[in-house]
A and B are shown apart, each in its own frame.
Chain A
Amino acid sequence: MSQATLSLSRTRHSLAPLARIAGLTVCALLTLGPVIWTVSTSLRTPAEAFDLPPSIIPTSPSTEAYRGVFDQIDVWLLALNSTLVTALIAVGQMITAGLAGYAFARLEFRFKKPLFGLVLATMMVPLQVTIVPVFLVLKSMGLTDTLLGLIIPAFPTAFGTFLMRQYFLGMPKDLGEAAMLDGCGPWRIFRSVYAPLAAPGLAIVGVLAFNYHWNEFFRPLILETSGQNYTLPLGLVSLQGNLGTGSISVVLAGVVLSMIPAVAVFVVGQRPLREGITSAGVNR
């Protein structure tokens, strides 16, 4: 597409931007299409869900499918589980990454370099490679099939630590030195001078954590065996598995319900999310 646009730009200057924008519009529609289809199908009656051509605006809008979701799975319980897990991990990561990032950026101590190297190296280790031993560690702690078993291992974040270190490194050193001359101890310098300035960086860590763990599937699939500990993605996939055909709109209504918080975070946290991704090329 860009090649066509570019060759156009050589001949007709006024046409090129239009062709480019038209191409981008088509791509944007392709990108958003499945999501639009999901929302519109979830608003159709289960009987009309198979209709082709799919009408983007449902002919007879109905919330029947949404009622179906609430009948078939305990949406409130799943949402509560997901919220608890995601919120605690996000807060936990903001705390651990904020503290460790500050230590690596602004405190002097022995073994700083090797320890930071260790943190960076773990960014390279895929979760799937360690999942069997992690499962056994959690089992020995009695944490399999509990929400805590999902939460605790997710507290340390190598990427978040790296990000916060960069963030603190970007702050002027003079601030801390001035506070030190005024008689502030190391804790006061952190608490009163640097920590308040770190809020935007912490927001990036929190939003990234929320996005990742709200949607997380692999760990919950392995760790949570009883239905009352399921999170939303697990519940949805089981919703699809338990039902035969004819209930697409119910499944899609479930998908829409689970998307709402993610979309809300996208709207509110778009900037921090984008910055988080752009800033280093996240290894999630």
Chain B
Amino acid sequence: MTNTQANTRIPDARPKPSGAAPPRPAPRASARDRGVRLLATLFLAPTIVGIVVFTVVPIVGSVVLSLFHWNVIDDPSFAGAANYREVFTDSTVLVSFGNTLVFMVLAVALQLLIALTLALAVNGRMPVWLRSVFRSAFFFPLVLSAASISVVMKYLFNQDFGVVNWLLGLVGIAPVPWLTSENAAMATVILVYVWQQFGFSFLLFVGGLNNIPREIHEAASLDGATGLRKHLNVTLPLLSPTLLVASVVGIINALQVFEQPYVLTNGGPGDATRTVVMVIYESAFEQLRFGTASAVGVLLFVLIMAVTAVQFRLSRRFVHYQ
């Protein structure tokens, strides 16, 4: 990549991949310093080389590829902004961005709400063994594979013989076309995703609540704060750093949703549940339009960065550190 770029300032700097590693020591360095630097180079090499080859170069690669037409078989041809123009006029791609944003907002909101409620409830008074039973139960779906869980859920949400509609039938609700109607399909994908993911935020909240000193709550109670008011005015502000982490991670993960819509609905009915990552997958590996796929990837990356930046901006006003 950079073998030709001799670095004049540090004459013995290595070429870039390992230029990530420290340069050889100045002549006056002691034997010990030399040893430390050598060790640091050896220790960091696998991680840094791996990150450069499999993340840094591919990011640059994505941007470059997005400017070309390429189907792997023929030679790539320069396309300029054509891929982006195409992306912005392709209704499937536009719909997939809309779907992904809707999914993100609803899934993250639901996930945080459920996780916070359950964390507060688990944090209340109860026998220690019971608390750990609840904690394990809520965290359990996280260890399962999203793909195989989605296979299971496809049966549970089946319109004709699924358990969910049977349960609803018991209370007199007509069968819902969970996976086959445009409106319900997105809701189902969100439910399945949240079912598997809320344990993650739940664990973060349990950890965060444990970090709030007991005295603060006691002081608030002495001042006459009770119930919901205490939670809104005392617990939530103290928990706000955890809320920030949970929502940032939740949003980044939600924008990358793939397994659930792929297995449950394959993006349908129509394009109702097609997400951005599904479009990347389909255009690259089914239609061999690598340039288009890269353009969509770059736009997703920009979207993630933008959303995260906005979040940190907003958080300056709402996050309180003790």
Residues of chain A at the chain B interface (Cβ within 8 Å)? 1-3, 5-7, 9-10, 17, 20-21, 23-24, 27-28, 31-32, 34-35, 37-38, 50, 52-54, 95-97, 99-100, 102-104, 107-111, 115, 118-119, 122, 124-137, 152-153, 155-158, 161, 185-187, 190, 211, 214-218, 221-222, 232-234, 236-237, 240, 248, 251-252, 254-255, 258-259, 262-263, 265-266, 270, 273-274, 277-278, 280-284
Contacts and interface: CB of A to CB of B under 8 A. Distances in A.
Contacts of A232: 145
Given A54-B163, A110-B23, A211-B142, 5 more contacts: A31-B137, A104-B44, A118-B56, A133-B57, A156-B46
A202 B293 CA distance: 37
B204 interface: yes
30 contacts: A2-B120, A5-B121, A24-B121, A28-B133, A28-B138, A37-B156, A50-B161, A54-B163, A99-B44, A109-B40, A109-B41, A128-B258, A129-B62, A132-B58, A133-B57, A133-B59, A134-B58, A137-B57, A156-B50, A156-B54, A186-B32, A214-B145, A215-B143, A215-B146, A217-B259, A218-B281, A237-B147, A251-B151, A259-B148, A270-B136
Mostly helix, strand, loop or mixed at chain B's interface?
helix
A133 B151 contact: no
Contacts of B263: 237
B126 A103 contact: no
List the 5 shortest-distance A-B pairs measured between CB atoms, nearest first.
A156-B50, A133-B61, A215-B145, A133-B58, A130-B58
Interface string B181-203: 00000000000000100011001
Contacts of A37: 152, 156, 163
Nearest to B145: A215
A141 B103 CA distance: 37
B256 interface: yes
**Consensus secondary structure, chain A interface:** helix
A243 to B, nearest CB: 11
Contacts of A118: 20, 48, 51, 56
